[in-house]
Structure 1
């Protein structure tokens, strides 16, 4: 994720990515057939961790707990997280749809916690 973040999707090479994680390019290719497959996997890692962290908070959990869980993941992955906001356009339609669905789950959890604790905000959250 860090190489994609620093160099962008097109500029990052499998050799650079392999070197950054301390393996050979051949070893990397054994796990991912091409750069696209690796990028798609990396794009899902942070959002999957966000979903998992939020799923550990009870469905009626306090807003502070929901935000703390989301913050822990985003801070831990801040170097790589931003690239997917800009580079996700390189994902194919199906992969973008899956990623969008996962982010919608995250946003929905936060919005639900806000609604529970701040019912007056519901009018502003209807679009979420």
Structure 2
């Protein structure tokens, strides 16, 4: 049952990441016209490495394919030396809208996977009926 609880923990971490990324993107979009506002981003950090190590622990044979993750981190950083507008603002609205759509797709995939895990657990509890 440890494998099952690790999966839930990993999915929970993925939802936390997506939530953090949603907040950062929303802040950037909300401040698109704010003078001297510097865009924030979620960085690549130890979160990716920790998740990858957790996913690799599921491999039971070295011949099995490695899980790959496209998660980019859990630390929020401000882009200091970038300016897109004359007023010192560094928010690129096209980039932010693309990131917003990408994050929404990621969130939907994670919630769908989590729902599938709960359905499997419910099926086991019911005895396969």
TM-score between the two structures when normalised by the length of structure 1? 0.33
Q: Flag the structure with larger Rg.
A: 2
TM-score between the two structures when normalised by the length of structure 2? 0.32
Higher helix share: 1
Higher strand share: 2
Higher relative contact order (CA 8 A, sep 6+): 2
